[in-house]
Structure 1
Amino acid sequence: MLKCTTNPRLRASYITWYKTFQSLNAKAQAQRYHNFIKATASQGRTIRIPLLSGNVIGSAVSRGNRSYQEDSHAIATLSLSPKELQAHLAERLGILSWDPGRIGPELAGQVVFVGLYDGHGGPSVSQFLQRELHGLFESVPELAGQVVFVGLYDGHGGPSVSQFLQRELHGLFESVRPELVPDTISWMKSQGGYFKRFKGGALERWAERGAKSPTFGLEARSTLAFLEADKRISELPESEKCGATSSVVLLHSLEAPASPFFSSQLLSLMVAHCGDTRVLLCVKEGGSAYPLTETHHAESRGEAARLRRLGAGLVTDSFGEARWMGALANTRGLGDFRYKAFGVTPEPEITSKLITGEQLGDFRYKAFGVTPEPEITSKLITGEQYAFAVLVSDGVTSTLSDAEIVDVARGETDPQKAAKAIVSLAEELGSEDNATALVVPLAGWGKTTGADKTLELRNYRKKTMIG
């Protein structure tokens, strides 16, 4: 057609169309993440389950009394290399027997991504995380299967960073590879101050160019995704005073034939975390809350030890609240580049746990100023141990306790109603901040036993608010 076109204007129009088509086609091929999860049905058929349905994963958002919304979130399915997943299961959970060949190459690497991004100084960072972080997790070469990703981003100082994360982070999760590690470490060192002697933390084994390195695992991929996101956020004009905290949940069913995360009797769950967004599990027997994240404040034990060599950067304001460098509540997060040299880091604090009905192991690996490295928690969930996971921003946790959050959610009939009930109660009890709740059902959904321990307290608090 192009050779037969003699009209210069038509020829130019066709060339423009063809280049656009090639670009879109290349982008579609590179971005393998999607908004459904595949599972094996009867007679070996594969079915698609929509992740954005409120019956699959519940979500609720409130702006509160703020002038704009700085919270963002993302839900997607990624395709990761089964070889990477095998390395992660063996190294962090001690599982040597998982055989992706029994599941099939397309489903073996399926992991659900659930991310919560809490922005501050504006939503730019949290929106970037929502858009790109789950893409950073997903590798283009040797794609074989899916992994479900849910991300929550809580911005501060404006919406720019959280919106950037919302828009870009899943794409970045898809594209990171070990070859990027040396340049990423060099960029971190260029921030100076705390990072002048940065060796790579969880990425140190891949820091030397051309060296033979071990298989890239989920924790290394998570760390690199967060650091790469922070690197790109640094190009935003607002990044000096705008930032976001983030919690990301990855769900990977190990069953054969493949089953969705909400019914899987053998499930790997990993949390990558920076800041004060929170991830909880509801234990089916008794309904207690099991926290998977810690708040990264300067006065917390782990962060205080990490930042000690920087000297007296902790300031207590007139309300009795501790602030790092007199300004920041959180010492781990993305963005906030005017404080980066003072130890505000995107690096992950890494926690790996193996739970198979009994507690078999608990391994902590502390990363060392504000850092984008996430805290990473890995758990193996068997049977119906847990009813659901919930991700919440600080607009919820500033008002509700962990126990109140899970008690409110467990009384609802579907995840969407549960998420709305959490946010509604936070508002009713006085929360004025942006508030987000994401509820992810697990195999024990709807089967929680024991009494609602906080019912009387919640009713009393409601009456007190009414006056």
Structure 2
Amino acid sequence: MGRSQPFVLLKPSNLVLKSSGMRHTGPVKNSTTSRESSSPMLRVNLQKFPGFIGHCSSRINRLTNEDSYSINMLKMPTVGSEMNCLWNKGIKDKEAYWATKLPLNKSILNLSVFDGHGGNRISKLLASELHNELAATFPSREAFFELLKQYNDVIGGKYWGKIYDRKEQYFKKFIATCNTKQDQVLFDDKSGSRMIFDQWGNIIDKTSLLTENERLRIFLSYMRFDLRRCCAPASSEEAHGDKNVVTGGSTASSIFLTPYDEPNSIGDTFFINSEGLLKLVVTQVGDTKIVLCDKNGIAHSLTKMHHPSSSRESRRLRTSFQTDSFGETRFLNNFANTRSFGDYVGKQEGLSCEPDIYSYLIGNTQFLPHSERSKLQFGGDECFVCLITDGVSDLMSDQELVDLITSTVNMRGLKVASPQYVSEEVIRFIAAIGGKHSDNATCLVLRLPNWGNWPTVDRTGAIREEKLMSGSSGSERSNV
């Protein structure tokens, strides 16, 4: 089976090899594959990689911090070997063969952010275990249908009964053809396929960025983890009233980054100095946000939030929503989101963790003709990706977030203002402008290959300065 690891293995620039009792330092020439695999490697913890991944979280003005996050490298079989396993009729126990025989040649960088509510149990559980569940899940159609049956039997209610009764249609719509997956790409009018060519005239992407099995793995692992781990109390002390009911839940937003060309994903270092296109897959459950900065310094939201005010969520749940005394729309008169992990008391009514899946083609465009770059969703050569909780997004817009990061780098310089530094700067800014009831705030920043090459323009500097002045004035009055 696949595995996850919180570190990457980097090859030193100067290898030290032993041969016939002699030491040799310097670059190695004509090294074979076996020799390279036995060469010494540097093990770098992904949470201690400040030049490429930044992370910061604070309780701000709450008593506790219910936010969590995880940063891992997933090691998975390549799509070709996995498909051969699934379709090879000579393999009787496909799951056992997949778990023990397939080489893990594909590396996927996974960053996730979780915003807990009603306690931090669920958000911490997701941060420590969800990536392991995803890596270990065998994408089986039969297992998915059995899982829907368990939801119908254990959770019950009209929502899950309807899904189980129409499981074939559900599978076709959300996984096989995935009509709701909102790939923001260009399509050819006649064939319905994407047409992007490299500099040699070869089509580099003609269908979807995700296979059916990859989408199935996400749905199966998320929903199974929610039912078995998040909706069951870890101890009797966590139960509320009925011992089978536990309070609390968490939203979840994740990115999965890998080279578009699978042969380039064998090593762990593809995101450090990528020379080709990258496949960015985003999953969304709730209202935590993911924001991308393009080469022009423009912010792009990569997700859509699951709020009761969403017309799409209203159609999914086939219900109207109530407005509380503060004028906020709530689901079941209690929940600010219509999708989450945990929140057992709302599961029967459709408060599920069914993820929205988005996929984007980003990265280095040096091998693309200029005419083809406009076909990419964001024009290519993107600069960075941010994952933030609503403690950040409620107080500043996407463009303010991006401008705060780019202007900080412009003023401090690339060597000083690393992704780690700017993620901390975002949280410091939130702490400065937030009121006494401000929510927990978390910010993760992933550096992309075009980091630092944005225009020196601060589009929202005046807005941020005004917020800082207002925040400072409010603090002074409260201290009088």
TM-score, normalized by the shorter chain, greater than 0.5: yes
| 8 A contact 1:75–1:149 mirrored in 2 | yes
Deviations 1:7-49 (A, max 9, x none): xxxxxxxxxxxxxxxxxxxxxx974534215579775757555
Indicate the residue corresponding to 1:389 in structure 2. 385
Indicate the residue corresponding to 1:270 in structure 2. 281
Aligned equivalents of 2:130, 2:316: Cα separation in 1? 27
Deviations 1:50-95 (A, max 9, x none): 42222221001101122222111111111112116998xxxxxxxx
Structure 2 residue aligned with 1:235, among 192, 210, 232?
A: 232
Indicate the residue corresponding to 1:445 in structure 2. 451
Structure 2 residue aligned with 1:345, among 352, 366, 374?
A: 352
Residues 215 and 425 (structure 1), Cα distance of their counterparts in 2 relative to 1, 3 Å cut? closer
The answer to whether 1:292 aligns with 2:253 is no
Structure 2 residue aligned with 1:304, among 295, 314, 318?
A: 314
Indicate the residue corresponding to 1:260 in structure 2. 270
Deviation at 1:228, TM superposition (A): 1.4
Aligned equivalents of 1:63, 1:245: Cα separation in 2? 17
In structure 2, give the amino acid aligned to 1:68.
Answer: T
In structure 2, give the amino acid aligned to 1:295.
Answer: M
Percentage of identical aligned residues: 30
The answer to whether 1:51 aligns with 2:21 is no
Residues 37 and 449 (structure 1), Cα distance of their counterparts in 2 relative to 1, 3 Å cut? farther
Aligned equivalents of 1:251, 1:40: Cα separation in 2? 23
Deviation at 1:389, TM superposition (A): 0.2
| 8 A contact 2:3–2:74 mirrored in 1 | no
Indicate the residue corresponding to 2:431 in structure 1. 427
The answer to whether 1:217 aligns with 2:213 is yes
Report 1:180-219 matches (<5 A).
180-190=143-153, 191-192=155-156, 193-198=158-163, 199=167, 203=171, 217-219=213-215
Aligned equivalents of 2:108, 2:387: Cα separation in 1? 18
| 8 A contact 1:284–1:387 mirrored in 2 | yes
Structure 2 residue aligned with 1:245, among 247, 251, 256?
A: 251
Deviations 1:168-202 (A, max 9, x none): 11221122113432321212223222111212777
SS state at 2:325 partner: coil
Aligned equivalents of 1:274, 1:50: Cα separation in 2? 27
Any stretches of 5+ residues in structure 1 without a counterpart? 1-28, 88-137, 208-213, 362-378
SS state at 2:5 partner: coil
| 8 A contact 1:74–1:152 mirrored in 2 | yes
| 8 A contact 2:253–2:289 mirrored in 1 | yes
| 8 A contact 1:81–1:139 mirrored in 2 | no
The answer to whether 1:35 aligns with 2:31 is no
Relative to the length of structure 1, the TM-score reads: 0.70
Aligned equivalents of 2:461, 2:99: Cα separation in 1? 46
Deviations 1:85-109 (A, max 9, x none): 998xxxxxxxxxxxxxxxxxxxxxx
Structure 2 residue aligned with 1:416, among 416, 420, 423?
A: 420
Please say which structure displays the higher CA radius of gyration: 2
Deviation at 1:145, TM superposition (A): 2.8
Indicate the residue corresponding to 1:160 in structure 2. 121
Aligned equivalents of 1:317, 1:218: Cα separation in 2? 39
In structure 2, give the amino acid aligned to 1:347.
Answer: E
Deviations 1:255-299 (A, max 9, x none): 6656521421311111111001000000112x1101101111011
Moved more, 37-46 or 71-80: 37-46
Moved more, 179-188 or 214-223: 214-223
Deviation at 1:203, TM superposition (A): 4.4
| 8 A contact 1:79–1:139 mirrored in 2 | no
| 8 A contact 1:249–1:271 mirrored in 2 | yes
Any stretches of 5+ residues in structure 2 without a counterpart? 14-26, 84-97, 176-209, 240-244, 366-371, 410-416, 474-480
Residues 225 and 324 (structure 1), Cα distance of their counterparts in 2 relative to 1, 3 Å cut? same
Relative to the length of structure 2, the TM-score reads: 0.68
Deviation at 1:230, TM superposition (A): 0.4
SS state at 2:308 partner: coil
Aligned equivalents of 1:306, 1:84: Cα separation in 2? 35
Aligned equivalents of 2:50, 2:400: Cα separation in 1? 22
Indicate the residue corresponding to 1:335 in structure 2. 342
Indicate the residue corresponding to 1:316 in structure 2. 323
SS state at 1:389 partner: strand
Indicate the residue corresponding to 1:125 in structure 2. none
Residues 235 and 345 (structure 1), Cα distance of their counterparts in 2 relative to 1, 3 Å cut? same
Deviation at 1:141, TM superposition (A): 5.3
Residues 231 and 66 (structure 1), Cα distance of their counterparts in 2 relative to 1, 3 Å cut? same
Deviation at 1:428, TM superposition (A): 0.8
| 8 A contact 2:68–2:115 mirrored in 1 | yes
